Amino acid sequence: MRAITINEFGGPQVLTETELPEPRPGPGQLTIDTTHAAVGLVDVFFRRGDLAGRPGMPQPPLVPGLEAAGTVRALGPGVTGFQVGEPVVTLTQMSLGGYASVTLADVAMTVSLKGSGVDPAQAVSALPNATTAYLALTRVAHLQKGESVLVHGVAGGLAATFPAVARSLGASRVFGTVSSRARIKDTEHLGLDEVFTSDQFVKDLDGRLTDVVVDPVGGDVRTASLDVLAQLGRILLVGHAARTPDTPLTGDDLWHRNAAMLGFAVGPYLAADPDAARPAAEKVVDLLARGELTLRVDELPLSQAAEAHRRLEAREVPGRLVLTL
């Protein structure tokens, strides 16, 4: 099969197209003829080795790619519930492997698109991240109907899925921040009540307090979020795109404000509770099918994986980038 491999950590140039043996599905697995593989910032972190010291992180040689869509190619022994040729998307799995013409997937992390009418490029761009958003808002932040939500870095791949999911859960108002005024146009399709720049959001909210702040960015916006948090508000940490030194928030900062900071990382969560994936993902398929969640998607051929990484690191991507096969 065709695949993009990383044989050593480094810049985008380490992404090399090569031929590899096709994976064979074992029990609880299936393989997918990949048509679309999404590119996320976490792929860049894996490629650079930013997460290398942490337990369970994949090491080179590896085929990157946590999110893939296509059609079922083969089923592992005893696997039922899917048919060969059926359109599917796989969710996050630490075995990676999405940048390849055949992707090995866990059945528990795979969702059918059969009969949904959902475009596979939209599905691979939105479904894994929106499933993360759904689990984070329901199981961790416990978002209640009528609560308000502020999403930092809202033009980003993960963040852009939160507004639609929050609305579907009954959020009253959904605000966003972006890093510059030029980015605001990239958020017009997200159905936000208002968008602010990250250096101004405290001032522009003008005393309007927020129940849940979603933060995949970190750094100064994380610290400043305490100033816009309502009583019993929650800051939901879902990433660290800025890769700055960690935020100097103390227990007293939270205690004195009746505030909470909560973390959510979908990989370890679903590794511990794989059965949580499908019900959440099926809610997201419904949102996609009803057109309530739509992302801006740009496509590049698989052979341009290095260019895709270069653009994402340079923050030139207006929505999501998808590699096509």
Q: Distance between CA 236 and CA 215 in Å, rounded? A: 6
Q: Does 40 bind ligand NAP (CB under 6 A)?
A: yes
Q: Distance between CA 197 and CA 153 in Å, rounded? A: 9
Structure tokens that stand for 147 in this block: 């609560």
Q: Does 93 bind ligand NAP (CB under 6 A)?
A: no
- Smallest distance from the beta carbon of 77 to ligand NAP, in angstroms? 30
- Binding to ligand NAP, residues 222-281 (CB under 6 A): 238-242, 264-266
Cβ nearer to ligand NAP, comparing 147 with 186 = 186
Interface pick for ligand NAP out of 31, 122, 125, 129 (rule CB under 6 A): 129
Other CB atoms within 10 Å distance of the CB of residue 10: 13
Q: Does 217 bind ligand NAP (CB under 6 A)?
A: yes
Structure tokens that stand for 236 in this block: 């939901």
Q: Does 157 bind ligand NAP (CB under 6 A)?
A: yes
Q: Does 311 bind ligand NAP (CB under 6 A)?
A: no
Task: Tell me the β-bridge partners of 197.
Answer: 178
Alpha-carbon distances of 28 from 112, 132, 161, 177, rounded to whole Å = 15, 22, 29, 41
Q: Is 287 helix (H, G, I), strand (E, B) or coil?
A: helix
- Smallest distance from the beta carbon of 160 to ligand NAP, in angstroms? 8
Alpha helices in 113-181 (DSSP H): 120-135, 162-168
Q: Does 285 bind ligand NAP (CB under 6 A)?
A: no
Q: Does 178 bind ligand NAP (CB under 6 A)?
A: yes
Contacting positions for ligand NAP (CB under 6 A): 40-42, 129, 132, 153, 155-159, 178-179, 183, 216-217, 238-242, 264-266, 312, 315
